[in-house]
Chains A and B, each alone.
Chain A
Amino acid sequence: MWLYILKRFLLMIPTLIGVAAIIFLLLRVIPGDVVEAKFMNGEAQGVSEQVMAEERAKLGLDKPVWRQFGMWGWRVLHLDLGTSMWTGGPITEEIKLRFALSLQVALMATVVATMLAIPLGVIAALKQDTWVDYAVRIFSIAGLAMPSFWLGILMILGFLIIFKWVPPMVYTPFWVDPWQNMVQLIWPALAVGYRYSAVATRMTRSSMLEVLREDYIRTARAKGLWLKLILVRHALKNAMLPVVTVIGLEFAFLLGGLVVTEQVFNLNGLGQLFVQAIARRDYTLTQALVLLVASVFIFVNFLMDIMYAWLDPRIRHN
């Protein structure tokens, strides 16, 4: 088992390096750079080539790409994300508050999704091909179909028309005013959580259906075990693994992938920061963001694999 964990852990390293290299290269392929973006906007238009070249030298953009990558990689290895090319401030500071916000929305959405998905998925599987099953399936397919940003617009529209009220649009950290914070973040969490729950509901349903056909369930029923006990002890426990995987992976994506929903609710999360950073060609900030989000994803993936291996010894030896 330890050997497996070690092997699986080492496998994360090339993936991370790959992610870093690809985003590094992609950014440099995007036309224009941060210096151009800075000087093409507003006051400083028409700055001489020389000034721009000096600015580039200051940011290290005049060096060959492989050296830039090497220097950046070396710093990241020492857990130093560097400074933003646009603001000059340390990236850790830029990201900190936004990370807290994105993390909170992602966590809340996960709670919403789990609470919806597991009961719905189980019921749908138990009542397969009845109207209950159809209703759950339509509900979850609709969840996949409705863009969460549109759900957000609908929520705001609904509040506005019915209650003449709009959720607060200015972020209050949880430790400052928990109530205000919840009143603001619960709506994006619900909008995103619905879509998220749809993915998990479908997985719960199909996974339950598969487990319910297993021999040990039939044995348990033949033994005359109480149906509820069979469900909780035998079926649910075995069916949950793929569900947990889906929830984990979706969670990792929520952290950085909420670009559009954040826009609707005016949340300054990681997604908005990413769009901004790309528009400004702020290489260091974009790289840091992508690396952060991808690391979470890769790490969750790693944890899932370990869990599978722990539960199913066949995987470790293969």
Chain B
Amino acid sequence: MSMTAPIDAIEMVGAAPRARWVAVIIDFSRRRPLGAIGAVIVVLMLLVAVSATVISPYDPLAIDFSAMLAPPSAAHWLGTDAYGRDVLSRIIYGSRTALIVGFGAATVGASAGAVLGVGSAYFGGWIDLILQRVMDIFISFPLIILALAMVAILGNSLPNLIMAITIPMIPRCALVIRSSALSVREMPYVDAARAAGFSHTRIILRHMLPNVMAPYLIMLTAFLGQAILLEASLSFLGLGVQEPTAAWGLMLSGAAVEFAEVAPWMGFFPGLAISLAVFAFNLFGDSLRDALDPKLRTL
């Protein structure tokens, strides 16, 4: 962490004119090359997901019994699976599932957590005490166990899956945001807002939330990777995204292990995709954290 980190942070958060944004990006990549690499991979992944229909060589659902378990070749770059479906196309389409679940769960989880955390810190007293206890209770469940229970309740359509992954993230975010919000609450401008007679909602949303943006963004990027991993785990167990939808975790389950010896590419490439995606988000998130708030290391 260089001495200029705080300045860097101000530049990143403030609404800068366009030319300065470019300068900030260049500065960020020079100072944090690892973060820049992560960002580039994320952008590439987004492009792949958006243009999946154009760039994928085959229909990800097209079954081709004449090409079952075909090894990587010019026709099928990453080989085919037990139904003769093209692995590359399924990975490309799988990026949509991963990104939708990742962004969906991370955004909802971090936002709900932020509102709860700020609210808890703002009101204080018994509201804070009760919220804290409830958060403690939810944090005592291992992430995957809570997600599994939620999937069992909600079912495993894509929106429900996002919900199930969101629930265990909310208390984790709320705790971190709360501790930042506690110091914000003591700020004179919050007192001023109160003296001006603004409503609680307005003070929380307009005055406090913008000032916990740094930990919020950090939690958000950290959750992105975690959500993708969690979705992959659930799908691997057969409790997440269902066949024949293309999803990375699902591609690793069942046949990939069964045919490990004859068709190792089935077990290799989807896992590589998961790892690369999470790796990129973490790389970027890490550098963002260093830039925004070097002290926060609760992840």
Are A and B a genuine interacting pair, yes or no? Answer: yes
Distance in angstroms between the alpha carbons of A260 and B249 in the assembled complex? 11
Say yes or no: B233 contacts A149, CB within 8 Å: yes
Say yes or no: B260 contacts A260, CB within 8 Å: no
Distance in angstroms between the alpha carbons of A154 and B266 in the assembled complex? 11
Is B141 on the interface with A (CB-CB < 8 A)?
A: yes
B-chain residues with CB within 8 Å of residue A264 when the two chains form the complex: 257
Partner of A278, one of B148, B276, B282: B148
Distance in angstroms between the alpha carbons of A22 and B283 in the assembled complex? 35
- Chain B interface residue number, banded: 35 or more
A-chain residues with CB within 8 Å of residue B145 when the two chains form the complex: 256-257, 259, 274, 290, 293
A-chain residues with CB within 8 Å of residue B264 when the two chains form the complex: 157, 161
Say yes or no: B252 contacts A153, CB within 8 Å: yes
Query: What is the minimal beta-carbon distance from A188 to any residue of chain B, in angstroms?
Result: 14
Distance in angstroms between the alpha carbons of A147 and B260 in the assembled complex? 17
Partner of B282, one of A134, A144, A157, A293: A144
- With A145-B279, A257-B142 as given contacts, are A275 and B237 in contact (CB-CB < 8 Å)? yes
- Bitwise interface map of A from 274 to 302 toward B, beta carbon under 8 Å scored 1, else 0: 11001000000000001001100110000
Say yes or no: B134 contacts A18, CB within 8 Å: yes
Is A30 on the interface with B (CB-CB < 8 A)?
A: yes
Is B61 on the interface with A (CB-CB < 8 A)?
A: no
Is B60 on the interface with A (CB-CB < 8 A)?
A: no
Query: What is the minimal beta-carbon distance from A232 to any residue of chain B, in angstroms?
Result: 23
Say yes or no: B34 contacts A160, CB within 8 Å: no
A-chain residues with CB within 8 Å of residue B34 when the two chains form the complex: 134, 137-138
Is A14 on the interface with B (CB-CB < 8 A)?
A: yes
Distance in angstroms between the alpha carbons of A137 and B287 in the assembled complex? 11
Is B158 on the interface with A (CB-CB < 8 A)?
A: no
Say yes or no: A253 contacts B142, CB within 8 Å: yes
Say yes or no: B137 contacts A147, CB within 8 Å: no
Is B201 on the interface with A (CB-CB < 8 A)?
A: no
Q: Which residue of A lies closest to B143 (CB)?
A: A257
Is B225 on the interface with A (CB-CB < 8 A)?
A: yes
Is A77 on the interface with B (CB-CB < 8 A)?
A: no
> Which residues of B270-289 have CB atoms within 8 Å of chain A's CB atoms?
271, 274-279, 282-283, 286
At the interface, is chain B mostly helix, strand, loop or mixed?
A: helix
Say yes or no: A161 contacts B252, CB within 8 Å: no
Distance in angstroms between the alpha carbons of A154 and B271 in the assembled complex? 9
Is A142 on the interface with B (CB-CB < 8 A)?
A: yes
Partner of B268, one of A157, A203, A257: A157
A-chain residues with CB within 8 Å of residue B162 when the two chains form the complex: none
- With A14-B133, A134-B34, A145-B279 as given contacts, are A19 and B141 in contact (CB-CB < 8 Å)? yes
Is A240 on the interface with B (CB-CB < 8 A)?
A: no
Say yes or no: B140 contacts A294, CB within 8 Å: yes
Distance in angstroms between the alpha carbons of A147 and B272 in the assembled complex? 10
Distance in angstroms between the alpha carbons of A271 and B268 in the assembled complex? 24
Query: What is the minimal beta-carbon distance from A249 to any residue of chain B, in angstroms?
Result: 10
- With A150-B252, A256-B145, A259-B237 as given contacts, are A141 and B279 in contact (CB-CB < 8 Å)? yes
Is B15 on the interface with A (CB-CB < 8 A)?
A: no
Say yes or no: B261 contacts A141, CB within 8 Å: no
Is A47 on the interface with B (CB-CB < 8 A)?
A: no
Say yes or no: A142 contacts B144, CB within 8 Å: no
A-chain residues with CB within 8 Å of residue B153 when the two chains form the complex: 26, 29-31
Say yes or no: A145 contacts B278, CB within 8 Å: yes
Say yes or no: A145 contacts B149, CB within 8 Å: no
B-chain residues with CB within 8 Å of residue A297 when the two chains form the complex: 140, 142
Is A172 on the interface with B (CB-CB < 8 A)?
A: no
Distance in angstroms between the alpha carbons of A30 and B166 in the assembled complex? 18
Say yes or no: A298 contacts B252, CB within 8 Å: no
Say yes or no: A141 contacts B286, CB within 8 Å: yes
Distance in angstroms between the alpha carbons of A290 and B143 in the assembled complex? 12
Distance in angstroms between the alpha carbons of A239 and B134 in the assembled complex? 31
Is A68 on the interface with B (CB-CB < 8 A)?
A: no
Is B136 on the interface with A (CB-CB < 8 A)?
A: yes
Q: Given A30-B153, A274-B148, 9 other A-B contacts at CB below 8 A?
A: A23-B149, A26-B150, A26-B153, A144-B282, A145-B225, A146-B275, A242-B297, A264-B257, A274-B145
